[in-house]
Chain A
Amino acid sequence: GENVEQHPSTLSVQEGDSAVIKCTYSDSASNYFPWYKQELGKRPQLIIDIRSNVGEKKDQRIAVTLNKTAKHFSLHITETQPEDSAVYFCAATAYLGYSSASKIIFGSGTRLSIRP
């Protein structure tokens, strides 16, 4: 089945610097790659996603890149701010086999801390 590996498990960066989180997936049929942010005690919330027909997507300070050949994708956060401190999860789809349904397999998460 699909497996998603995420690195690093913890990341500490100085405020204003950039942060990069990397994920690899195993199923070459995966076609949708969302990133979720989870603040302490809160639910995961989608921050950006990318589909397999594009290589890069950007939304203000957040960007995601996808390398289908190597089966890896990355989250880039620039000009980090204290409110970026959270746990970030990558995910990849696993096709369920009927209709257009998919289930999402999550990475194990990265705890990002922004140092003031």
Chain B
Amino acid sequence: DAGITQSPRYKITETGRQVTLMCHQTWSHSYMFWYRQDLGHGLRLIYYSAAADITDKGEVPDGYVVSRSKTENFPLTLESATRSQTSVYFCASSEPASGGGWSDTQYFGPGTRLTVL
């Protein structure tokens, strides 16, 4: 689990500010994901990436931007933070299993608790 890290672990910001959450993995996994976790909703996918320079929207992408210039990094940016974006954010990575179209295990980072005032 030490192979995937997130920073900062805690962040307090104000409405309207830009915030970037960082995610770094050392396994060279192809796939990376951003989730948000809110009470009563479990984990919801925000964005995912299949490889460097390949990203796509998940279930709740509005208000977020991602980039992936390097395989090991997948930053998530809130362009203009809103109170509804107060949440715990988890980054995850995985590597597809060879053949058969099977998905592989996702490994989660420790999470970032974001509060928007």
Report the Cα distance A37→B38, complex, angstroms. 16
B102 near A100 (CB under 8 angstroms)? yes
Beyond A43-B90, A108-B42, whether A101 also contacts B50 by CB under 8 A is yes
Residue of A nearest to B101 (CB): A100
The yes or no answer to B48 lying at the interface (CB within 8 A) is yes
B43 near A96 (CB under 8 angstroms)? no
B101 near A49 (CB under 8 angstroms)? no
The size of the chain B interface, using a CB distance under 8 A, is 32
**Interface residues, chain B, with chain A CB atoms under 8 Å away:** 1, 30-31, 33, 35, 40-45, 48, 50, 56, 58-59, 90, 96-103, 105-111
A51 near B102 (CB under 8 angstroms)? yes
B90 near A44 (CB under 8 angstroms)? yes
A93 near B50 (CB under 8 angstroms)? no
Task: Tell me the minimal C-beta distance from A17 to chain B in angstroms.
Answer: 25
A44 near B103 (CB under 8 angstroms)? no
Beyond A106-B43, A107-B42, whether A43 also contacts B1 by CB under 8 A is yes
A6 contacts across to B, CB distance below 8 A:
42
Report the Cα distance A103→B31, complex, angstroms. 9
Interface residues of A in 9-28 (CB under 8 A from B): none
Report the Cα distance A44→B1, complex, angstroms. 11
Residue of B nearest to A30 (CB): B103
Nearest 9 CB-CB pairs, A to B?
A: A102-B103, A100-B96, A43-B108, A106-B43, A108-B42, A32-B103, A106-B42, A100-B101, A93-B103
Residue of B nearest to A101 (CB): B50
B106 near A104 (CB under 8 angstroms)? yes
A43 near B43 (CB under 8 angstroms)? no
Task: Tell me the minimal C-beta distance from B103 to chain A in angstroms.
Answer: 4
A103 near B48 (CB under 8 angstroms)? yes
B50 contacts across to A, CB distance below 8 A:
96, 98-99, 101
B105 near A31 (CB under 8 angstroms)? no
Task: Tell me the minimal C-beta distance from A8 to chain B in angstroms.
Answer: 14
